[in-house]
């Protein structure tokens, strides 16, 4: 069981001898799937009062752009591209590409502002592999993020350069039950 402390009960005079660095976690699989355990982790952390952002780059269909985040619990914002469909191809029209780029720019902005302590970037590997978000931009973003921010990246075929930066890598494979 996790105990929560009211912030007023913590002594502001107590200083830790070192700074806690945010982790970069990668959840990947050989196939496209929904990472239920990542969403569960985000919900638990947000319900304990930590600000969390979940960004789904390739999902659309419910008018949920950065201007209309869904609040799942008090501290969890969930956003998607403001598109009428899910993205599954590198051939996007101008409106779709603009929406995806706006979401990527917004994500970087709020992370650099320090608004969230945990950021989940769902299916980011697919956006990179489809050529929709440049890998070098993602690497620069990860290296420049505020030191306290935890980032979780999900998706199949995560680029090696990103995997090499990760503090934790979880590969999800189908179980082989008889």
Kindly state the average pLDDT of the residues 70-99.
77
Q: What is the pLDDT of residue 7?
A: 44
Q: In angstroms, rounded to a whole number, what is the distance separating the alpha carbons of residues 113 and 115?
A: 6
Categorise residue 114: left if φ over 0, alpha if ψ from -120 to 50, beta otherwise: left
Cα distance between residue 4 and residue 44, in whole Å: 12
pLDDT in tens, 99-140: 889 999 999 999 999 889 999 999 899 899 999 999 999 999
Query: What per-residue confidence (pLDDT) applies to 77?
Result: 87
**3-28 pLDDT tens trace:** 454 444 444 444 445 556 889 999 98
Q: Give pLDDT, residue 67.
A: 58
The CA distances from residue 5 to 2, 46, 55, in Å, are: 10, 14, 28
What per-residue confidence (pLDDT) applies to 5? 46
Helix (H) or strand (E) holding 28, with range, is: strand 24-29
pLDDT in the model for residue 18: 53
Predicted TM-score (pTM) of this structure: 0.79
C-alpha–C-alpha distance, residues 175 and 178, integer Å: 10
SS3 169: strand
CB neighbour list of residue 42: distance below 8 Å, 6 or more residues apart:
52, 54, 76, 118, 120, 152
Give me the pLDDT at residue 119, please: 96
């Amino acid at each position: 069981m996790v105990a929560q402390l009211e912030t007023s009960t913590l002594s502001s005079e107590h200083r830790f001898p070192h700074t806690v660095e945010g982790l970069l976690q990668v959840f990947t699989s050989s196939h496209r799937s929904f990472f239920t355990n990542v969403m569960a982790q985000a919900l638990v952390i947000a319900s304990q009062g930590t600000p969390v952002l979940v960004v789904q780059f390739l999902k659309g269909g419910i008018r949920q752009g950065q201007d209309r985040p869904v609040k799942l619990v008090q501290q969890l914002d969930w956003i998607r591209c403001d598109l009428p469909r899910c993205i599954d191809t590198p051939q996007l029209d101008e409106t779709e590409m603009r929406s995806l780029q706006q979401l990527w720019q917004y994500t970087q902005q709020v992370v650099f502002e320090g608004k969230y302590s945990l950021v989940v970037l769902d299916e980011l590997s697919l956006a990179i592999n489809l050529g929709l978000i440049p890998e070098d931009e993602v690497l620069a973003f990860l290296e420049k993020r505020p030191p306290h921010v935890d980032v979780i990246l999900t998706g199949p075929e995560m680029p090696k350069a990103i995997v090499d930066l990760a503090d934790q890598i979880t590969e999800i494979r189908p179980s082989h039950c008889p």
